[in-house]
Amino acid sequence: MKAVIMAGGFGTRIQPLTNSIPKPMLPIMNRPMMEHTIVSLRNLGIKEFIILLYFKPDVIKEYFEDGSKWGIKITYVIPDDDYGTAGAVKKAQEYIGDENFIIISGDLVTDFDFQAIFDYHKSKNSKLTITLTSVENPLEFGVVIANEEGKIEKFLEKPSWGEVFSDTINTGIYIIEPEILNYIPNNENYDFAKDLFPTLMRKGIDLMAGYAQGYWRDVGNPESYRDVYEDILRGKIKFQLSGEAIKYPDGVLICEEDNIIDESVDVVGIVVIGNNVAIKKGAKLNNVVIGDNVIIESSAKISNSVIWNNVEIGKNARLDGCVICNNNRIGKNVTAKSGLILAEGCEIGELVIVEKDVTIWPDKVIENAAIVSRSVILGSKYKNSIFENGLVIGKSNVEISCEMATKLAEAYGAQLPVGSTILVSRDSAKSSRMLKRAFLGGLLSSGVDVLDYGAIPSAVMRCSLSYHDEYSAGIHINQKLDDPTSTVITFFNHEALRINNDMAKKVEKAFFKETFRRVDYSRIGQIYLSDHAKEYLGYKKGMEELLKSHMFKCLNCRVAVDMMHGMASEVFPDILNDMGVDHILFNAHPDNPRLDNINSLTKASHEDMSAVIKALDLDAGFMIYPHGQRLDILCDKGILLSKQAALFIVLTLLNMEAKNHGVVKRVFLPTWAADFVQFEHLEIERGQYANFKRDKMKQYDLVTTGEGNFAFTEFSSHRDSMYATLKILEMIVYNRVKLSQLIESLPRFYYHTFQVPCTQANKGKMMRMFLEDSKGKKSSTLDGVKIWLKPQDWVLMIPDQYSDNLNLYIQAKTNEDGERICETYKSKIEEWMST
């Protein structure tokens, strides 16, 4: 058997530790991470290794050379492009030959019994065996389900919490027979999980699951790197430590030769020391791993820390829970609280205090007596992952600074052709104005032209973007609605939809590696100012062409509209006037101080709207949220409709419209939306809304997440509360109905949503337990786990994407049944969590 080691990753998530070395070379107990894997496989008799390189290949080649130092033979393969995981292995086919082989990542730490994995593969006469294990947080891995015979039935690569159906994941360790390589195309980007595995399953080739017991950790970020050390020192992993062991009263020192350690040094727990280390009088070390060529001056106290090579630590320094990279100088009397990541080549002055969880990027100088309370950043990186569903969110002028905005724009501009045109808009907040200007500079430097819309509703900018093929992308910058101290930067593709995960990852990679495209001075982009009057006119005409505007003028229909001090107040009142809608406006002027407390504003608006609707006998009320997507509806009785009621009302109206036109309209809803009511003239599809393209959106007449967001695709493929208001009003008028009557006509049933606290570590386990509970019942794992208990009674559990909670949704025919289901699953969850 041969071994193929994947060692070509960029390590962007674990920056800045990988600033100058590839991730497989990060030291674990003073040896590169990949070396431990190689030694484990060599000890089982594997003598031929093929190492796939890409990022910083020379660092790996210079260390391992031909492998003879370890008694093995190493062949290096460096693809000329990024061919994906399977595509890269295809490049090594000529070196693999006719033997079966193991594929393993170079950036993981494990004590798996590899011999047991080999034996299982052989016993099953398998063509491809995927090694599985259970983890606390399965989001970053491929989740897998296999039957009792070990045949894999389903897997999902890097799911969201809503898609997770187990905590059993793909470790990326495969045993493969050589003929499988024939299914991988040459010179194509081809991935094991996304491409090869589905292909093999379609062709009837069984993929076998080999469950492995023991420790396994993908070292993906600085926190997991630090956790590996903690696990080793606490004995959670079987790990052979080399060197002489010297016992102390409260610990043990494991060290190499050529070290100078003063006899007064206090050792607590396990301390591991490399070569040429000097530890001076009165120093105290507690669970510390120290590399080569390190000097620790007298009376320094260091605990729970990792120190790489060529580091000097001054007198009386206090370091706790730190990772200190190569070539650093730390002055006297420095205090670093838990969580410091000190990248290479830094100089920390005397009397410096570093607060908790600070990252200092490479080659920084911290002056004497400075108090470092936030990260000192290269490229203003502020998170391991920048994007969340096409959004970048952070504290204004702190996490998202002008420098950050500029470099983010440079990274995005580099993904578009030179000469492209991007639309950029913002809201009226001062922070948005500032960051937009910084963002523009970054776009221009990459050779991208900008059509500057200034302060304008994002719906108008997106409408223009979707209607004009010459525009390549759009950016909208606004103050976060529920946190006025934060800014949201939303990235839209040429279809006016949020960029997908693939594009987000490309931008992140360019951002972290600073692979910007700074063009020649003659090709620098230009800024063109937009004409708001022209854009608003086009937006309004688009509505008028679709809506039966004359009906608003001739019928007795009056509504209240609350603009909630948002940018829509610049255009929507004129649209209402021109289309003849008899209306009463609320809050149709900018007022940033009131927007700073959105909860108070929302409550007051609900109360005011309700009172006016009842007093003046209005037909409905509509609340346009500040950023033009969410819509709240009040009926003619002044009652605020819940999100579920609003959804049913809109579906009922759309069903009436379809019936009147003799057609069937298509609707896309989230999986958690109630399905108790059937609509004869609507074809409803339920699923997870993620990475939709315009062609997909246009297959439906209505797409809604059920959160007050409605995309009527006859007008646009994105959510637009202004158009939704007029469309809903048109359907009310055309069908001559009252919203209160529609509410009363809906059947009564039980529908309840609630949250159950659940730590990140338990979410995968809960998904697995729900899936096990679904056996023998009708179920779905389309989004979370949904279990039908009766034809119309079901429970759906989706782990919350961003908080430590489980989201539960329950539908039942009667309140009694619903309450019983609710109590049953609360009890089950409590029991599962305690086991």
Question: pLDDT tens digits, residue range 272-316?
Answer: 999 999 999 999 999 999 999 999 999 999 999 999 999 999 999
Spatial distance between the Cα atoms of 812 and 790, rounded to a whole number of angstroms: 8
Q: What percent of the chain has pLDDT over 90?
A: 63
Spatial distance between the Cα atoms of 101 and 123, rounded to a whole number of angstroms: 16
Spatial distance between the Cα atoms of 686 and 828, rounded to a whole number of angstroms: 27
**Which two tokens mark 425?**
């808009």
Q: Is there a contact between 764 and 166 (Cβ–Cβ < 8 Å)?
A: yes
Condensed to tens digits (0 to 9), the pLDDT of residues 732-772 reads: 988 889 999 999 988 889 999 999 998 877 888 898 899 89
**Which two tokens mark 549?**
């505007």
Report, as an integer, the average pLDDT of 794-802: 87
Residue with more model confidence, 711 or 385: 711
pLDDT score for 144: 84
Condensed to tens digits (0 to 9), the pLDDT of residues 385-398 reads: 678 888 998 888 87
pLDDT band at 498 (very low <50, low <70, confident <90, very high): very high
Report, as an integer, the average pLDDT of 627-645: 89
pLDDT band at 559 (very low <50, low <70, confident <90, very high): very high
Condensed to tens digits (0 to 9), the pLDDT of residues 307-355 reads: 999 999 999 999 999 999 999 999 999 999 888 999 999 999 999 999 9
Token match 């439906």: residue?
A: 700
Condensed to tens digits (0 to 9), the pLDDT of residues 514-546 reads: 889 999 999 999 999 998 888 898 898 888 888
Spatial distance between the Cα atoms of 282 and 269, rounded to a whole number of angstroms: 17
Q: Is there a contact between 711 and 719 (Cβ–Cβ < 8 Å)?
A: yes
State the SS3 of 133-163.
EECCCCCCCEEEEECCCCEEEEEECCCCCCC
Please list, in sequence order, all residues whose beta carbon lies within 8 angstroms of the beta carbon of residue 200, skipping any fewer than 6 positions away. 127, 128, 180, 183, 207
Spatial distance between the Cα atoms of 142 and 384, rounded to a whole number of angstroms: 20
Spatial distance between the Cα atoms of 401 and 83, rounded to a whole number of angstroms: 35
Report, as an integer, the average pLDDT of 54-66: 91
pLDDT score for 161: 61
pLDDT score for 160: 64
Spatial distance between the Cα atoms of 61 and 696, rounded to a whole number of angstroms: 47
Residue 617 region by backbone torsions, left for phi larger than 0, else alpha for psi between -120 and 50, else beta = left
Measured CA distances, 339 to 305, 306, 357 (Å): 9, 11, 4
Q: In this structure, how many other beta carbons lie within 10 angstroms of the beta carbon of residue 783?
A: 22
Measured CA distances, 567 to 1, 427, 527, 625, 709 (Å): 65, 7, 22, 9, 17
pLDDT score for 379: 35
Spatial distance between the Cα atoms of 676 and 674, rounded to a whole number of angstroms: 6
Closest C-alpha among 477, 480, 503 to residue 691: 503
Q: Is there a contact between 561 and 585 (Cβ–Cβ < 8 Å)?
A: yes
Count Cβ atoms within 10 A of the Cβ of residue 276 and give its class: 0-12 exposed, 13-18 middle, 19 or more buried: middle
Spatial distance between the Cα atoms of 331 and 329, rounded to a whole number of angstroms: 6
Q: What is the DSSP letter of 735?
A: H
Summary mean pLDDT of the chain: 90
Residue 381 has pLDDT above 60, yes or no: no
Strands in 665-670's sheet, in edge-to-edge order, are 682-687, 665-670, 702-704, 710-712
Angle of CA points 736, 700, 656, to nearest 5°: 20
pLDDT score for 436: 97
Spatial distance between the Cα atoms of 162 and 173, rounded to a whole number of angstroms: 25
Please list, in sequence order, all residues whose beta carbon lies within 8 angstroms of the beta carbon of residue 764, skipping any fewer than 6 positions away. 134, 135, 136, 137, 138, 143, 164, 166, 167, 169
Does pTM top 0.75 for this prediction? no
Spatial distance between the Cα atoms of 155 and 666, rounded to a whole number of angstroms: 29
Exposure class string for 17-29: b at 16+ Cβ within 10 A, else e? bbbbbbbbbbbbb
